């Protein structure tokens, strides 16, 4: 399988119950389980990987920019190094890898591009080295590249179990429901800003548990809410699910604000969206939409096909929303044909990765 390129397209996911705070930094182990919906290919990352004995070093290129793998403070770099080492050890190989990745949505905006990228990368490495490991094992690789990345390994509704073991062996993602269980569920992403956030989620995962006094309650709350969310989805009870989703988002941003120094992702446009969704739901006399915010000001509005137009109408009345992306539930990552690879002779020549 050396000198052959493998390309995976994986998609982003939006958490209904969010991951915030890691109990183990090295292994990326969370304080609480999380539940997410995998999005469709409107929000995806495509990653090509090739291993070769002719390569003089590992190289990672994201959206055309070469990443410095020796930069100690880069988490991307250190996670990739670890994933490659893990994979090479398992395969019994020493070949270096060229990894080329492209996102089709703006990164650093709280749209979880890293999740899609991590899932695509992990699967591409596993494919490229033809590793005989099961999905749980791949899940653990993806988790170490980017926590929420393990959730993007599956389609539909996915749960990332926090696990209790110190070595992370029981912290993995699995599908709860495939896309056919509740296909009406959709996500409308209101893009509020495309600029990078002040505090990365990676920093937040460490800062908040360490400094927020309110955080002490967050893991217990989120764990209980994850169970409730699972039941709400099983019963296709949108009214209940929506409340759980909105409250979990608020809970997360509350512990962010309580961190020291404070982390504030929501802005005036986010707030206008929050109020507008509450008003929309009040008008219906039940919840027909739910807002949820990751580490950024952009809003994900979870709703059903039936109320898509009503939500779009509501969003169109809010100043400051740049555009609204639409996503159904996605089926999870897939292998693209060789012709779709981001790696070709031209690219390889351009990188200067060859030994001679």
By the 10 Å C-beta count (0-12 exposed, 13-18 middle, 19+ buried), 325 is classed as: middle
Tell me whether residue 182 or residue 215 sits nearer to a copy of itself (CB atom): 215
Contact flag: residue 266 with a copy of itself (CB under 8 A):
yes
Tell me how far, at minimum, the Cβ of 255 lies from a copy of itself, in Å. Answer: 7
Tell me how far, at minimum, the Cβ of 20 lies from a copy of itself, in Å. Answer: 13
Contact flag: residue 89 with a copy of itself (CB under 8 A):
no
Q: What is the dihedral angle through the alpha carbons of 99, 102, 108, 110, rounded to the nearest 10 degrees?
A: -110
**Distance (Å, whole) CA 31 – CA 23:** 5
Tell me whether residue 266 or residue 353 sits nearer to a copy of itself (CB atom): 266
Determine the interface stretch with a copy of itself among 129-137, 169-177, 259-267, 327-335 (rule: CB under 8 A).
259-267
What the block records as the tokens of 80 is 């990739």
Determine if residue 152 is left, alpha or beta; phi over 0 gives left, psi from -120 to 50 gives alpha, anything else beta.
alpha
**Distance (Å, whole) CA 318 – CA 134:** 46
**What does the per-residue mask of binding to a copy of itself show for 227-256, with x meaning CB under 8 A?**
----------------x---x--xx-xxx-
Task: Give the residue, chosen from 92, 261, 285, 352, that forms a contact with a copy of itself under the rule CB under 8 A.
Answer: 261
Task: Provide the pairing of β-strand 59-62 with 96-103.
Answer: parallel
Quick one: which of 144, 279, 147 has its CA closest to 200?
A: 147
Tell me how far, at minimum, the Cβ of 294 lies from a copy of itself, in Å. Answer: 16
Contact flag: residue 258 with a copy of itself (CB under 8 A):
yes
Determine the interface stretch with a copy of itself among 6-14, 41-49, 108-116, 216-224 (rule: CB under 8 A).
216-224
Distances (CA, A) of 159 to 28, 163, 215, 220, 226: 16, 11, 21, 16, 9
Task: Give the residue, chosen from 271, 306, 340, 350, that forms a contact with a copy of itself under the rule CB under 8 A.
Answer: 271
User: Which residues in this chain contact a copy of itself in the complex, by CB under 8 A?
Assistant: 198, 212-214, 216-218, 221, 243, 247, 250-251, 253-255, 257-258, 260-262, 264, 266-268, 271, 274-275, 278
């Amino acid at each position: 399988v050396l000198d052959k390129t493998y390309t995976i397209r994986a998609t982003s996911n939006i958490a209904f119950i969010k991951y915030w705070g890691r109990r183990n930094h090295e292994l990326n182990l969370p304080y609480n389980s999380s539940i997410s919906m995998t999005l469709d290919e409107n929000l995806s990352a495509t990653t090509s990987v090739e291993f070769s004995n002719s390569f003089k070093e590992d190289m990672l290129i994201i959206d055309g920019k070469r990443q410095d793998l020796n930069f100690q403070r880069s988490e991307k770099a250190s996670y990739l190094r670890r994933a490659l080492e893990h994979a090479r050890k398992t395969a019994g190989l020493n070949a270096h890898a060229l990894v080329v990745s492209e996102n089709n949505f703006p990164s650093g905006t709280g749209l979880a591009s890293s999740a899609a990228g991590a899932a695509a990368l992990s699967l591409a490495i596993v494919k490229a080295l033809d590793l005989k490991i099961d999905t749980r094992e791949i899940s653990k690789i993806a988790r170490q590249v980017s926590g929420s990345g393990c959730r993007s390994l599956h389609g539909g509704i996915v749960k990332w179990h926090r696990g209790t073991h110190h070595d992370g062996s029981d912290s993995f993602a699995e599908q709860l429901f495939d896309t056919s269980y509740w296909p009406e569920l959709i996500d409308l992403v209101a893009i509020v800003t495309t600029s990078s956030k002040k505090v990365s989620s990676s920093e937040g995962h460490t800062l908040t548990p360490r400094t927020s006094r309110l955080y002490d309650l967050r893991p217990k709350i989120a764990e209980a809410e994850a169970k409730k969310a699972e039941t709400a989805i099983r019963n296709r009870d949108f009214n209940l699910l929506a409340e759980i989703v909105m409250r979990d988002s608020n809970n997360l941003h509350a512990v962010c604000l309580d961190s020291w120094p404070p982390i504030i992702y929501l802005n005036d446009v986010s707030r206008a969206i929050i109020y507008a969704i509450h008003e929309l739901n009040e008008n219906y006399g039940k919840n027909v939409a739910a807002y949820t915010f990751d580490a950024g000001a952009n809003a994900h509005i979870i709703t059903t096909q039936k109320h898509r137009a009503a939500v779009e109408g509501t969003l169109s009345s809010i100043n400051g929303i740049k555009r609204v992306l639409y996503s159904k539930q996605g089926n999870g990552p897939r292998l693209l044909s060789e012709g779709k690879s981001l790696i070709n002779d031209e690219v390889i020549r351009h990188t200067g990765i060859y030994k001679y």
